[in-house]
Each structure stands twice: as structure tokens, then as C-alpha cells.
Amino acid sequence: MKCRNCGTEIAANALICYRCGTAVEELPHVAPALAKKRWAGLIGPSLTLVVLLVAALLMTRVFAPELPRTIVWIVFVLALLLTGWWIARRRASTTSARPRRAEKRPP
């Protein structure tokens, strides 16, 4: 089999040309599946955030005489930061799973 870019003879099962780096076949486009997975991964943290917000509001209204407001808001901010960290970690793991295109190197 010959490379369509530089004409070098390459193995029949090669994915890229070893000389110029051109892909033998086009990689399938996987962005729609990743987009669905990304949105599915945000439902849990979003619901957690809503529940935490409601809990913080209830704690400030119902338990205000017993619990200082500062402590309630510190707990809420820590929970918010933890949720943000979780979302960032999940995004990093989904972006690293994407297939990379072969880079073209000069001959």
C-alpha cells in the first residue's frame, strides 16, 4: 500500500505513514457522542448545587438563632468549591479520552 501524500510504501495495516505522518484513513468524528456525555456528566453536579443552595437558604432561615450565619456560608462555599473541582476533574478526564489526529511532519 502506498501513502496518498508522499507515495512511500507502507504496511497494509498502518494507521499513518511513517515518513510524512499522514493518516491512512480519516478518523471518525466523535464529537456528538462526547457532547452528550459531557451534558450527562453535568446533571449530577447541577442537582447537587441546587440542593446545596436550598439547604443553605433553609439553614439561614430556620436555624439562624442557633447557628452563626458565617459558618453556614463557609460550609456552603466549601461545598460549592468541591462541586466545581469535581466538574473540572470530570471535564479533564473526558477531554483526555479524545482521539488525536496524526500530525503532518515535513519529509
In a domain, 69, yes or no: yes
**53: domain range?**
31-95
The number of beta carbons lying within 10 Å of the beta carbon of residue 10 is: 19
Say what the pLDDT of residue 105 is.
58
Pinpoint the alpha helices (H) of the chain: 31-62, 69-95
In a domain, 55, yes or no: yes
pLDDT of the chain, 107 residues: tens digit per residue: 788 888 888 888 888 888 888 887 765 555 555 556 666 667 777 787 788 778 777 777 776 666 677 777 777 788 888 888 887 887 777 665 555 555 565 55
Say what the pLDDT of residue 94 is.
64
Residue 23: half-sphere exposure toward Cβ, Cα within 13 Å: 9
pTM summary value: 0.34
Q: Name, in order, each residue with C-beta under 8 angstroms of 91's C-beta and a sequence gap of 6 or more.
A: 38, 41
The domain total for the chain is 1
Enter the DSSP assignment of 98: S
